[in-house]
Structures are given as structure tokens and as C-alpha cells.
Amino acid sequence: MRQLMVLANRRLEWREIAAPRLLQATDALVRPVALSVCDADVAYLRGAFPLRSEFCFGHEFVADVIETGDQVGGFAVGDRVVVAFLIACGACDRCRRGFPAACTVVPQKSAYGFGVFGDWGGAACDLIRVPYAETMMVKLPPGVSAVDAASVGDNLSDAFRCVEEGLREEPGAPILIVAGNGAAPSISLYAAALARALGSEQVDFIDSDPYRLAIAESVGANPIEMAEAPSRHGSYPVTVDTSGDPSGRWLSAALRSTAPYGRCTSCGVYHGATPLPVGAMYERGVRFTIGWANVHALMPSVLDLLARKKVPVERIHTVAPWDEAIDALENPPAKLVLAREASS
Ligand SMILES: [Zn+2]
Ligand SMILES: [Zn+2]
């Protein structure tokens, strides 16, 4: 079967590799039909993260079930499913407490399509093995396309957790999204769209780039163009940092703009030390969350919003044919979705 590989020089290449097969009774085999490109994939291909050896590409996807192991209940051949990007058993103590991103049964940070996090394969392929299938997969609701749901297994659920808890606590709360220089464009824009869908009265969106700001405005956010991080921008019960800027200036702006005992969630990828305004956080009692999203429990809620046509994801993503992945990734839009079939 064909697999899109990321080579050691960060170039992409389709390659023929052996097809996977079921290894455990709790496994499923699925055929990806829509694959979205994660913000972290684009950052890696552009050289923002340390070099890795070659790996199988792709970890946000919707797929059709091809085969299930004897112990996989609730799924049948032909079901169309979202698959979580991170691998988790669903049964260990951490998984049961709601932290599958720290599952103790698989090696730490096990995920599809990263290479450094274990050899789980990549979803830009014809067939992929899903371990712990009952935990890892959620069926698509009627009326939700594979293209629209392609990012539910990662970035879209990541964006959801940034705004949902705060809005549940304070319905209608205004929200500040600090996208900075756009290291995580799709999470930023999804967070804006989800915040509006979940009832935020005002979503202020800070970004340095007019292209992304125009998309933010189209999904109901208030665009604010800034080339440099402000020290602070108002006071919001819920703030979101997606900047991933190692200087910490944009992250600091989000933290300093968080209202007393408000929530700030960061979806940026940070390697190594990044300064934090701890004094300002202490004064305001900021509740700060960072790290991989525990997507498994979030996916059904996000799919429900998509089924109710609450989130205009089509204004955020750009669709390209599956076979044109390499060309499309040369100059990726805010969010790229690769679709295997026109009807996806
Ligand atoms: Zn990702
Ligand atoms: Zn587990």
C-alpha cells in the first residue's frame, strides 16, 4: 500500500510499504478517507521543531472501518469513524481519570504520524491499524462529512477544550485568542469559531497576519492586527494562547490579559524554557492549562456541534485531492484537508 513519508531532510515522498494487519483482538483496521494537516505538521515541515529521522505522515483523520478484532464491539465494517491522534488504552488509571494523553499502558506520548512517539504508522496511507479501537474511534453522526470532521481527532478538539470549560463556567464570557505570528493557525481559528458556537458574546482575535484575521472575522471573531505582542490587552475570563513563540511574549500577553481567577489555555508547542509572568499570574490567580489535549472524551461533543451545523469549519479549511498532498503542502493554507474522494 502507499504511505506518505516525511524524510530525514523534511521532504515528503510516497512509498510502497507492507499493509498492516490486526495484532490484537481489540484492534481495528481502517482506511483513511479524509486527512487534515495538523498545525504541528506544518511547523515541523517548515523547520520549527528539531529534526527527526524519517516517519509516516498524518495523524488527524476520518476513516472507514475495514476489519475489526473479535473484542471490538459497537463498530461494523463500513462504519465511518474519527480516530484520536494519540494512542490510549482507555482502561488504565490515567485513562479512566480522563487523561489518555498520559496513558500508562503505551509508551509516553504515543501518537500517529510523529515518528518520535512510537511506530504507530501515519494516516496518509491506504490502511492503518487502530489499537484499543473502542476507545480510539467515534462514529460520524449522520450529515457530517469526512472533510468537516477530519480534524476532530486533534486540532478541532484541542481548540474545543480551550474555550468550552470557561464558557460552561461563565456563559457568554468574552474570549481573547492570542494567535501571535500564527504558529497554530487552525487551532486559533477553530477556537474562535467554537467560542462563538458555544455562546461567547465577543471573541477578540490577535494575529499578525491579515489573511488569518480575515478568516477569523468570517467565523464571527473581532480581528485585531498586531505585529508585536502587547504587554496586555484588556481583561478576559477566558484567554487562549496559540502562539508557540519561544520568547514567551505572546503567551505573556495572554496570561496578563486573563481576568482574576480566569482561565488561560495554551495550545502552543514549547520546547525548552519559556519565560512566564508568574507575578502577574499570582496576583490574578490565573488558572493555566498547557499540554496535549485529552481528545478521546472531547470528540463526541465536537461531532455533535458539527452535526448541528454550529461550527463553520468550511470557512477555515481548504480541500485538496488526496493524491496532490505533496504539492498542496508546498504552500499550505490555514488548514489543509486532503480528501480521497469527491463525496467525502
Ligand atoms: Zn497534531
Ligand atoms: Zn490508558
Superfamily of domain 2-154+295-339: Medium-chain alcohol dehydrogenases, catalytic domain (3.90.180.10)
- Asked if residue 257 has pLDDT above 80, the reply is yes
- Asked if residue 107 has pLDDT above 70, the reply is yes
- Asked if residue 11 has pLDDT above 80, the reply is yes
pLDDT bucket at 176, cuts 50 / 70 / 90: very high
Shortest-distance ligand to the CA of residue 187: 1
Shortest-distance ligand to the CA of residue 84: 1
Q: In this predicted model, which residue has the larger pLDDT, 217 or 52? A: 217
Q: How far does the centroid of ligand 1 lie from the alpha carbon of residue 38, in Å?
A: 5
- % of the chain with per-residue pLDDT over 70: 98
- Asked if residue 4 has pLDDT above 80, the reply is yes
pLDDT at 52: 86
- Asked if residue 103 has pLDDT above 60, the reply is yes
pLDDT at 51: 85
User: For the domain 156-290, what is the CATH code?
Assistant: 3.40.50.720
- Asked if residue 114 has pLDDT above 90, the reply is no
Which DSSP letter does residue 111 get?
A: B
- Asked if residue 7 has pLDDT above 90, the reply is yes
Mean pLDDT confidence for 205-216? 98
Mean pLDDT confidence for 62-78? 98
How distant, in Å, are the alpha carbons of 30, 122, 162, 177, 248 from that of 242? 31, 24, 10, 8, 11
The pLDDT mean for the chain works out to 95
Place of cell 502562539: 243
pLDDT at 207: 98
Mean pLDDT confidence for 115-134? 91
For 316-329, the pLDDT digits (tens) are 999 999 999 999 99
Q: How far does the centroid of ligand 1 lie from the alpha carbon of residue 121, in Å?
A: 14
Domain with CATH 3.40.50.720 in the chain: 156-290
Q: How far does the centroid of ligand 1 lie from the alpha carbon of residue 226, in Å?
A: 26
Mean pLDDT confidence for 231-238? 98
Residues with CB under 5 A from ligand 2 (ion): 88-89, 92, 95, 103, 105
Domain with CATH 3.90.180.10 in the chain: 2-154+295-339
Mean pLDDT confidence for 58-73? 98
3-state secondary structure 143-196: CCCHHHHCCCCCHHHHHHHHHHHHHHHCCCCCEEEEEECCCCHHHHHHHHHHHH
- Asked if residue 118 has pLDDT above 80, the reply is no
pLDDT at 288: 98
Q: How far does the centroid of ligand 1 lie from the alpha carbon of residue 223, in Å?
A: 25
Q: Starting at the edge strand that comes first in sequence, how are the strands of the sheet with 222-225 ordered? A: 222-225, 203-207, 175-180, 236-241, 258-266, 287-290
CB 137 within 8 A of CB 81: yes
pLDDT at 271: 83
Residues with CB under 5 A from ligand 1 (ion): 38, 40, 154
- % of the chain with per-residue pLDDT over 90: 93
| Cell, residue 321 | 485531492
Mean pLDDT confidence for 7-23? 95
CB 112 within 8 A of CB 132: no
- Asked if residue 341 has pLDDT above 90, the reply is no
DSSP, collapsed to helix, strand or coil, labels residue 248 as coil
Mean pLDDT confidence for 270-299? 95
Shortest-distance ligand to the CA of residue 106: 2
- Asked if residue 344 has pLDDT above 60, the reply is no
Residue 263 sits at the vertex; the CA angle it makes with 258 and 269, to the nearest 5 degrees, is 95
| Cell, residue 52 | 527527526
pLDDT bucket at 342, cuts 50 / 70 / 90: low
- Asked if residue 29 has pLDDT above 70, the reply is yes
